[in-house]
Amino acid sequence: MSLDHRLPEELEELRRTVEAFAHDVVAPEIGAYYEQHAFPYDIVRQMGQMGLFGLPFPEEYGGMGGDYLALGIALEELARVDSSVAITLEAGVSLGAMPVYRFGTEEQKREWLAKLCSGEMLGAFGLTEPDGGSDAGATRTTAVREGDDWVINGSKCFITNSGTDITGLVTVTAVTGRKDDGSPLISAIVVPSGTPGFTVAAPYSKVGWNASDTRELSFSDVRVPVGNLLGEEGRGYAQFLRTLDEGRVAIAALATGLAQGCVDESVRYAKERHAFGRPIGANQAIQFKLADMEMRAHTSRLAWRDAASRLVHGEPFKKEAALAKLYSSEIAVDNAREATQIHGGYGFMNEYPVARMWRDAKILEIGEGTSEVQRMLIARELGF
């Protein structure tokens, strides 16, 4: 019996559809959005109409009935052209909508999921804090029960999709009590946009992902109903660890797309650019760079698809997700650096996609768990 890595026909059709959308719609427009640091509402609207935000959710909640493999396919194809659009989809699905689906009550799912799946509304994931970083257990944001309300105070930073005109909610981790040993009980609470006391700061000035929305959030005596608790009280940290495990599979797919996009652009340029009377691709030095870049992208694809397959089949996938995220993010940085080098001076010009890819790559080694954290997780799964 042979192992077949080919996609089923329905996923191959999805891949072709998103590939065409990325090249025909995203590629011609995204550069202007990127340079203006503007959110691409029209592109996001079209992604919603295509059903991309609903890919891994059941049809009964407005989804497309797919899974994380389908989501990863879409993310990879989008990121081959642009990572800002891809991260908007990734965060909207795996960080915004998925916690509601995984841990929400039936009432919460009915209230929010359909709009999140259609792309009519974006959700965000408020975990990181200014003094927290990778130490999510050091959460300082608090939520105190007062009658039928939670009263939330604190702040979050680096939150994607949190301040757009279509952002509808942010799920926030907050300390809601203490265990017997004094350690915090962390819970997850949904805060709708526009709630009094919930303030969204101006967008960050970022190195990359300039056409995506990233902001700092603050909460000053923010009151939401007790029914906005997501999952069990005190289980918020464990819930979001699961969310991050799944999100790492999605980020690995996105990083693979960026790495492959660097190959695509570099092969095209190496055939068109002439120096000393012939295409630069005729030089073995360039060919070897391209071969290494393709090897890295191909291996990365196998890694994220393996992790996604384990997730979809209900098998343990924590180690494989960390492996895929670690490898894909680091090779994305490698490929972006090499693509810029192949393009020479033009690689430093923003009119060329590889300049955007170079700026977008580094965050992949930081977001959804740094490379150091991934190595810790892998070592832990090995018994250390």
CB-based contact 206:214 (threshold 8 Å): yes
**Both ends of the chain: CA-CA distance in Å?**
35
State which amino acid sits at residue 110. R
Which residues are 186's β-sheet partners? 175, 235
Kindly report the three-state secondary structure assignment for every residue of 15-41: HHHHHHHHHHHHHHHHHHHHHHCCCCH
**CA 167 from chain center: how many Å?**
16
Q: 362-365: long-range contacts at Cβ-Cβ below 8 A with a sequence spacing of 24 or more?
A: 362/207, 362/208, 362/333, 363/207, 363/208, 363/209, 364/251, 364/254, 364/255, 364/258, 364/328, 364/329, 364/332, 364/333, 365/329, 365/330, 365/333
Nearest to 237 by CA among 136, 315, 341: 136
Alpha helices, DSSP H, located in the chain? 9-21, 27-36, 41-50, 68-79, 83-90, 98-103, 106-118, 236-272, 284-312, 318-343, 353-361, 371-381
State which amino acid sits at residue 332. A
Provide the 10 A C-beta neighbour count for residue 291: 12
Active-site option among 9, 77, 368, 372: 368
Local structure of 6: helix, strand or coil = coil
Residue 106 annotated as catalytic: no
Residue spans of beta strands (DSSP E) within 110-148: 122-126, 142-146
Question: Rg of the Cα trace of the chain?
Answer: 21
Residue corresponding to tokens 């030095």: 285
DSSP H or E segment with residue 191? strand 184-192
The whole-angstrom separation of Cα 228 and Cα 20 is: 39
Catalytic annotation, residues:
368
